[in-house]
Amino acid sequence: MSPNTSENRPIGHAVAPAWYAAGLNHVWLPYTQMKTASPPLAVAGARGSRILLADGRELIDGVASWWTACHGYNHPHIRDAVERQIAELPHIMFGGLVHEQALTLARRLVRFLAPADLDRVFFSESGSVAVEVALKMAVQYWRNRGVRRRTRILSFYGAYHGDTTGAMAVSDPHDSMHAAFSGVLPKQITVDLPVDEQSLAAFEMVLASRAEEIAAIIVEPLVQGAGGMRFHAPQVLRTLRAAADRYEVLLIFDEIFTGFGRTGTQFAFQSAGVVPDIITLGKALTGGTLPLAATVASSKVFEAFWSDDPAHALMHGPTFMGNALACAAANASLDLFEREPRLDQVAHISAAMRNGLELCRSIPGVKDVRVLGAIGVVELERVENLNALRQRFINKGVFIRPFGSVVYLTPAFTIAEDELAKLMDAIRHVLREDA
Ligand SMILES: Cc1ncc(COP(=O)(O)O)c(C=O)c1O
């Protein structure tokens, strides 16, 4: 990807900005074959559900920056909170020192999660790290109780829990972006989600024969996101809770994607009426403005660490843990959830997507259409040229970024009706042109 040739300039750029040309050859982009990928678009700003490009174009955003920007970009309430905080205290180490924003956020998160007994918040700076912390908590929970055999994690095919080593090891071992690392990662136990009689029997069999070595089960409740936007019924979570109780293993819900309204309830676990022992949160926690994640444990888990023995302490502590700017943004984001009708907005988006995307079902090459909360998915039989498909959306004035064979929308909850309609029009037109 060389920015110096005219064919590599972003489409529509008369002249790329100087910073773009000077810097592009020095960055390494995520999940990107740098040699063949289309050059990234130069962004000058973002407001609401609009991305403003450096060349003056404006795109309607269907992704909300990997579904983080739930209140839209540049929300003045979050911006003001961060501006006030930066003048006071941008960051202070969390070892031996605490501050108002982090403690207030911990208290408020626990209240948001209530009445579930999820009561002790460990902050980190990314979803993957929050998952690592959850896995370490689960293993050390058993060790602190004198059980040394329970070291493995049971996870599911189709899962995605992040890109760090521990998180990769509990993601789908074959059908994910981590296949390059197979054989290198810690060995965990992977089974199919118990969604029908056959998978339920296989799941039960693994637990019956190996529960003694299992510390925890980890699942993305209701939606396997980056693994293919696959949905499952709340009943599956009840099955997992019952099995975890029966075999006395911990249950971790990774709500980094689903938390904060995305599936229609504040947290996905609420729609199943069951509570995990540990939950991970991230992404929309700061309304998509600053990196922050949290691993929240039940009092049962925390009590296993509460001891006179220093070796029973949780041995984790990211440098930017509890960052004050990020916590201020998260507190402001929670204000917005409290003050504004976010879940109603999700319900409206859901209804609009059920109508609008359903029209795609008859287009040749469309395999499935599904909607849950503010997640809309059109799954295709196959995509021959992902780069070209992505470019066609940009040419239509929208930012929609399919992966694998999945075209999806995860818009801001504040998106305007006509903006959402334009996103869905673009999907229908592009898929029809392709058919
Ligand atoms: C369910 C889930 N867990 C973990 C992660 C990793 O989060 P991060 O990218 O912040 O490390 C993601 C990211 O997409 C996710 O969807």
pLDDT digits (tens, 9 = 90+) for 95-147: 999 999 999 999 999 999 999 999 999 999 999 999 999 999 999 999 999 99
Which of the four pLDDT bands, split at 50, 70 and 90, describes residue 1? low
What pLDDT is attached to residue 3?
Answer: 43
- Pocket of ligand 1, candidates 160, 176, 177, 279: which has the most ligand atoms within 8 Å of its Cβ, to mutate? 160
Mean pLDDT of the chain: 95
* Closest ligand 1 atom to 282 CA: 10
Q: How do residues 245-261 score in pLDDT, each as one tens digit?
A: 999 999 999 999 999 99
- Pocket of ligand 1, candidates 168, 256, 262: which has the most ligand atoms within 8 Å of its Cβ, to mutate? 256
Task: Assess contact for 47 and 60: CB atoms under 8 A.
Answer: no
For residue 340, the CA-to-ligand 1 centroid distance in Å is 26
Q: How do residues 44-53 score in pLDDT, each as one tens digit?
A: 999 999 999 9
pTM of this structure: 0.96
65-79: average pLDDT: 98
Ligand 1 pocket member 277 (CB < 6 A): no
Ligand 1 pocket member 128 (CB < 6 A): yes
Name the catalytic one among 61, 160, 163, 396: 160
- Picking from 282, 377, 264, the residue whose alpha carbon sits closest to that of residue 330 is 282
For residue 223, the CA-to-ligand 1 centroid distance in Å is 12
Ligand 1 pocket member 131 (CB < 6 A): yes
Ligand 1 pocket member 226 (CB < 6 A): yes
- 């994690």: which residue's tokens? 153
For residue 377, the SS3 value is strand
Ligand 1 pocket member 353 (CB < 6 A): no
Retrieve residue 209's tokens: 């024969």
Q: How many CB atoms lie within 10 A of CB 119?
A: 17
β-pairing verdict for 214-219 and 250-254 = parallel
What pLDDT is attached to residue 14?
Answer: 53
Is 254 known to be catalytic? yes
Which of the four pLDDT bands, split at 50, 70 and 90, describes residue 287? very high
pLDDT at 176 over 70: no
Name the catalytic one among 283, 396, 408, 422: 283
CA distances from residue 368 to 377, 381, 416 in whole angstroms, order as listed:
8, 9, 26
- Pocket of ligand 1, candidates 123, 128, 263: which has the most ligand atoms within 8 Å of its Cβ, to mutate? 128
